[in-house]
Amino acid sequence: MTLPQVAGGAQLLAEQLAAVLSQMPDPSGGPAAGQLERELAEAFGVPHAVALSSGTATLHAALSACGIGPGDDVLVPALTVIMTVAPLAALGATPVFVDSDPATLDLDYDDAARKLTARTRAIIPVHLWGRMGDPAALAAFASEHGLAVVEDAAQASGTARHGQRAGTVGTAGCFSMKDGKILWSGEGGFLLTARRDVAEHAAAFRSHWQPAPPGQAAHSRLATNARLAAPLAVIALANLRRLPDLVNLRRAQAGRLLHALEQVPGLAAVAPAMGEEWNGFAALLHLDLPSPRGFAERLAQQGVPNSTGSFRLVPCDRRPMFTLSDRPCRGAAEILDRTLAVILTERDTEATLDRYAAVIAREATAWTARCRTPRTSPANTPGTPLPAPPASPPERTLPHDDHTGTPLLHPRPADRDRGHHRSRQDVSHPPRPRGARCARRPGARRDCARCQAAAARRVLPAGRRTARLRRSPARRPAGGQRGGPVPARRHTVGRDLAPAGHQALRSGHRCR
């Protein structure tokens, strides 16, 4: 697919900029902004257009014109960027986040109805990636509940559905002209409306309430400074005059990229809705891959810009300043996790798009293979499974006689190999290496474990004799080998235990 040629360009812009720069400085701002507003209204088929300094400023002015203020609730899709919500905070209103339908990317109107309150005053549909929801459903919902509609159409210049342009459905439509938008001026925005009072309010709001609307005094209320600079208005005007060509170019760019990825497993193009004339703002692909967000981040590292990988786009209700709801918008989260939105600009050539396609196809194949490979240790050879984690040590219990069931104070040799200890007091006390200090008896000398056990049993006065259980050599199995049936045991009387010091039993053992 060959990309269309777009008339105009850097040379034309340079000539027009030179003309306006020759007239600066001009405290009035010059005629460029006014000319842009008239041509915007004509191009979009609305009575009024107001140029402002950014898309965020247009939302701020439009919501103020609708009377939104402290104590008001405004329905906002969680499937949006934080710039949609910032003006609400500035006006003192409360955003109420609404989920979206993963099948259509449109608002979930059932969820919106559940979240209506007596304080709800407006709804802000967001045409993310240039995709437009059903205008009839939006108008019906707003009319039923008496809500003002302020469209965030920042990315939707040139999109229409059922013959109705994005940004012309409700009370006001707000657009951005930031770099990367189809209609761009470096920075800026504009507001479209059919209501004269809204346009007059926005024009006053952008310039500290002057000129004021009819019947009001200048500076009679607080507003802001959001005028569009004359050089930016000239750039916007030049691009507006070639807007149809810019929209066709973006559609061709998205179509070329999507066509190149048709046969890649795990990727599927997100088709426009019935009756939607999509502007192709970003190439949209549904990801049927493991860990799709990680895949998007991998593409960003490989030079393929996209919404979730490059800009870490998440549902707005999960932003730190808004995580007050205990019921997150799961549909919006699914859309963002499973959608790869490749960012496009006017300067992306066929070679650039082909490189994007090659990287995406290569990484998708490698990603699937990588996720199917067992997890490896950095020290191991790639593809070698990690060794199984060590088994938990068995619970230490005192060994019992197999015939009588009575506890054995002195375990059999085989039991010693399992980590059992010599005395009942030391059952939960692990053996210590020779010379180690006992952590449970801070005052003990650094004797061996046997001496420590003997000291722990030294509870009788000097001269007293204590009974000990010891193995009878005569009852060992034939051949002197250990194991086999448990031999019978007899009581023998041991030697006196020294009342002081850490000398062991008088059996010839001494600490070394």
Give the pLDDT of residue 429. 46
In a domain, residue 404? The reply is: no
Q: What percent of the chain has pLDDT over 70?
A: 70
pLDDT score at 324: 66
Helix or strand or coil: residue 189?
A: strand
Task: Answer whether residue 276 is part of any domain.
Answer: yes
> Is residue 131 assigned to a domain?
yes
- Segment 471-478 shows an average pLDDT of 48
Q: What integer pLDDT is reported at residue 136 of this predicted model?
A: 97
| Range from 104-118, 174-188, 189-203, 477-491 carrying the lowest mean pLDDT | 477-491
Among all chains, which residue has been given the structure tokens 């082909």? 354
pLDDT per residue over 219-237, tens digit each? 999 999 999 999 999 999 9
pLDDT confidence of residue 4: 81
What DSSP designation does 76 have?
E
Residue 278 within any structural domain of the chain: yes
Domain of residue 82: give its range.
11-372
pLDDT of residue 449: 60
For helices 196-205 and 55-65, what crossing angle results, to 10°?
120
* Ordered DSSP codes for 237-300: HHHHTTHHHHHHHHHHHHHHHHHHTTTSTTEEE-PPPTTEE----EEEEEE-SSSHHHHHHHHH
Domain of 338, CATH number, reads 3.40.640.10
φ, ψ for residue 62, nearest 5 deg? -65, -45
What are the phi and psi torsion angles at 407 (to 5°)?
-65, 145
pLDDT of amino acid 21: 78
The pLDDT value given to residue 347: 92
DSSP-based helix, strand, coil % in the chain, nearest 5: 35, 15, 50
Q: What is the pLDDT of residue 490?
A: 44
Give per-residue pLDDT as tens, 21-60: 777 787 766 788 999 999 999 999 999 999 999 999 999 9
Residue 88 lies inside a defined structural domain of this protein: yes
Q: Is the model's pLDDT at 499 over the cut of 90?
A: no
pTM of the full predicted structure? 0.72
Of the pLDDT bands very low, low, confident and very high (cuts 50, 70, 90), residue 256 is: very high
Task: Judge whether 304 lies within some domain.
Answer: yes
2 pLDDT tier (thresholds 50, 70, 90): confident
Percent of the chain at pLDDT exceeding 90: 63
Pairwise pLDDT comparison (404 vs 348), residue with the higher score: 348
Would strands 73-77 and 94-98 be described as parallel, antiparallel, or unpaired?
Answer: parallel
Q: What is the mean pLDDT of residues 273-293?
A: 96
pLDDT grade for 373, boundaries at 50, 70 and 90: low
Q: Among 7-16, 37-46, 403-412, which stretch is predicted with the lowest mean pLDDT?
A: 403-412
Number of structural domains, the chain? 1
Confidence of residue 375 (pLDDT cuts 50, 70, 90): low
pLDDT (average), residues 475-493:
47
Decide if 38 is inside a domain.
yes
The per-residue pLDDT for 450 is 60
Domain annotation covers residue 21: yes
